[in-house]
Amino acid sequence: MDILNKLAECVEFGKINKKSPYPPNMKDQDGADELTVQALEMGIPADDILKKGLVVGMEKIGIKFRENKVFVPQVLMSAKAMTAATEHLKPYFLDGSVKRKGVVVMGTVAGDLHDIGKNIVAMMFEGNGWEVHDLGTDVKTEDFMAEIEKNPDCIIGMSALLTTTMLNMEKSVNTIKEKYPEQKILIGGAPITDGFREKIGADFFSKDPQGAVEYLNNLVAV
């Protein structure tokens, strides 16, 4: 479908709506906002709009970001385009006609107030069809545990940007795994390494958002 390709392009290049001046080469063209409305009016299923349009665009920007071909501002523009489109799909999420892949609970660990990296990863997850519960920054272990109680099949994503708060990440992972040994936990952040992930018993570490997206998608593909 031509309109779904256009939609993917708008997300990839961050074209939010017709009046948005960015990117300059798409000036005065319909953006993700208008094209989503048009696709729904054409009778294209909301699920197809998400999976064959929006998700395709987010995957492309994710790969470019991993390869350092684009940077944080471009990813944020793509996320804004994605958000504008998904506003029109919300009723379909609620009535169950668009199935989410699963629930991811995100948070920066206790004592850490950094959230740009976490926010980008959360946007990428959402853009790839996951339902994200973002607990924000300075998230205590019991807050993660409360979300697991509410969403037993959820996946936990933890971020730390300070070497001093890596200790809190370790405590949170240990406490959660003690009570829920099967709980999947992803970790990330500038000082984190795969060696640290192994040491604390988390399930996955990725240095870029796309790696985390691929890990999640593989979990549901099994």
* Cβ contacts of 5 within 8 Å, gap of 6 or more: 53
Quote the pLDDT of residue 222: 61
SS3 155: strand
Quote the pLDDT of residue 96: 85
Start-to-end Cα distance in the chain: 28
Convert the pLDDT of each residue in 177-186 to its tens digit: 999 999 999 9
Give me the architecture of the 2-94 domain, per CATH: Orthogonal Bundle (1.10)
Q: Note down pLDDT in tens along the chain; length 222 residues.
A: 699 999 999 999 999 999 999 999 999 999 999 999 999 999 999 999 999 999 999 999 999 999 999 999 999 999 999 999 999 999 998 888 888 999 999 999 999 999 989 999 999 999 999 999 999 999 999 999 999 999 999 999 999 999 999 999 999 999 999 999 999 999 999 999 999 999 999 999 998 999 999 999 999 986
Domain span(s) for CATH 1.10.1240.10 in the chain:
2-94
Is the domain covering 103-221 a CATH 3.40.50.280 domain? yes
Strand order in the sheet with 204-205: 131-134, 103-108, 155-159, 185-188, 204-205
Domain span(s) for CATH 3.40.50.280 in the chain:
103-221
